[in-house]
Amino acid sequence: MVLTAIYAISFYLATLILIGGLAYKIIEYARTPAPLKVPTMPAPLTTGGVVVRMFEEVVFFKSLFRSHLKWTWLLGIMFHAALLVILLRHLRYFIEPVWWWVVLVQPFGKYGSFAMIVALLGLLGRRFLVERVNYISNPSDYLMLVLLLVIGASGTMTTFVAHTDIVQFKAFMLGVLYFDWQPLPADGPLLVHLAAVILLMVIFPFSKLLHAPGIFFSPSRNQVDNAREKRHLAPWALAKFETSRGTPPQPSV
């Protein structure tokens, strides 16, 4: 019961930190103005065009693809796609009855974990092997991949090696959701898996994982190219300069 309590409470705290931290960062990004028009050109001329540009970046990693680092792109796409499928698959632990399309996703998610592990190993490998990437890597960059690998490997083990009692685990998860705690199966891989996920949730808003919300706020990608047509002015610039238009220094010739 102690174990159940520790994990349940950790889940609550981690969720609070994740949501609170992300909300804080997103509000901070949204509130900070971009005082100048700085899209990387050529840029779309309309908001619709920006939506398309963003879609291409978020779904296909278009800029990364253009960088000729085809392996990085492939591993990156592979990791993120696998992660998406796996996350969808995990929905079944949080809902009852399970939606039909979540049932459909199950087999993909099951084997997707292998794709994720392979991609992560590839990404880790290039941090060691590619001189330039090695140079720019901090300890946290390796540890992030290791953490994800631990999550992937332990999760895979619960399915393929030390089969976890998922009926009992689902009861635990729903119990956490509805504040009606049920015992957590004390399986090694499952406990490691959950602990690593909780850790990931906690560090998310303090780490480079902020790239997920951050990309939508990147001025070089989300601005419309209409500087000549529409005057773009940040509130601070308006307040500082536009109330009394300063005159430039006079020439002294």
Partner 1 sequence: MAAKVEFQVPALRPYPYVPDLVPDSMKGKGPFVAKPDFQTPLGFPGPLVDNWQEVAIEKMGEMLKKYRSLRVYLDVCVRCGACTDKCHYFLGTRDPKNMPVARQDLLRQVYRRYFTLAGKFFPKLVGAKDLTKDVLDDWYNYFHQCSQCRRCSVFCPYGIDTADISMAAREIMDSIGLGQKYCNEIIGKVYKIGNNLGLPEPALRNTLEGLEEDIQTDIGVPVRFPIDEEGADILLVTPSADFFAEPHIDGLIGYAKVFHQAGMSWTLSSYASEAGNFGMFIGSYENMRQISLRIRKAALDLKVKRIVFGECGHAWRVAYSFLNTLAGPFDFLDPKYPVPQHICEVTLDLIKRGALKLDKTANDHRRITFHDSCNVARGSRMGDKPGGQFFIPREVIKASCNFFYDMPADTIHDQTFCCGGGGGLLTDDLIELRVKGALPRIEALKHVVDTHSVTNMASICAICKSQFTKVLPYYGFKMDMIVSVHQLVSTAIVL
Q: From the list 231, 239, 243, 244, which residue makes contact with partner 1 (rule: CB under 8 A)?
A: 231
Q: Which of 18, 74, 133, 166 binds partner 1 (CB under 8 A)?
A: 133
Task: Tell which one of 97, 186, 239, 246 touches partner 1 (CB under 8 A).
Answer: 246
Least distance from partner 1 to the Cβ atom of residue 196, Å: 17
Sign of CA dihedral 175, 176, 181, 184: positive
Q: Which is nearer to partner 1, 97 or 228 (CB)?
A: 228
Distance CA 191, CA 165 (A): 12
| Nearest CB to partner 1, comparing residues 80 and 170 | 80
Q: Give the one residue of 22, 69, 118, 192 binding partner 1; rule: CB under 8 A.
A: 69
Report helix, strand or coil for 54. helix
CB closer to partner 1, 151 vs 202: 202
Candidate list 101, 135, 178, 179; residue touching partner 1; CB under 8 A: 135
Among 130, 147, 174, 195, binds partner 1 (CB under 8 A): 130
Among 20, 24, 40, 87, binds partner 1 (CB under 8 A): 40
Minimum Å gap between C-beta 50 and partner 1 is 12
Angle at alpha carbon of residue 133, lines to 130 and 138, rounded to 5°: 130
Q: How far apart are CA 49 and CA 53, in angstroms?
A: 6
Give min distance, CB of 88 to partner 1, in A.
Answer: 23
Which tokens in the block code for residue 208? 């480079």
**What count of other Cβ atoms lies within 10 Å of the Cβ of residue 143?**
12
| 207 scored as a contact of partner 1 (CB under 8 A) | yes
The contact pattern for partner 1, residues 77-106, with x = CB under 8 A and - = no contact, is ------------------------------
Both tokens of 200, joined, read 């990931």
Instruction: Decide: is 139 part of the binding site for partner 1 (CB under 8 A).
Output: yes
Binding footprint of partner 1, residue count (CB under 8 A): 72
CA-based nearest residue to 205, from 24, 28, 26, 21: 21
Which residue matches tokens 């309590």? 5
User: What CA–CA distance (Å, rounded) separates 181 from 117?
Assistant: 32
Tokens of 67: 């960088």
Which residues within the stretch 141-170 sit at the binding site for partner 1 (CB under 8 A)?
Answer: 141, 143
> What whole-number distance in Å separates Cα of residue 33 and Cα of residue 232?
11
Closest CA to 194 of 4, 17, 2: 4
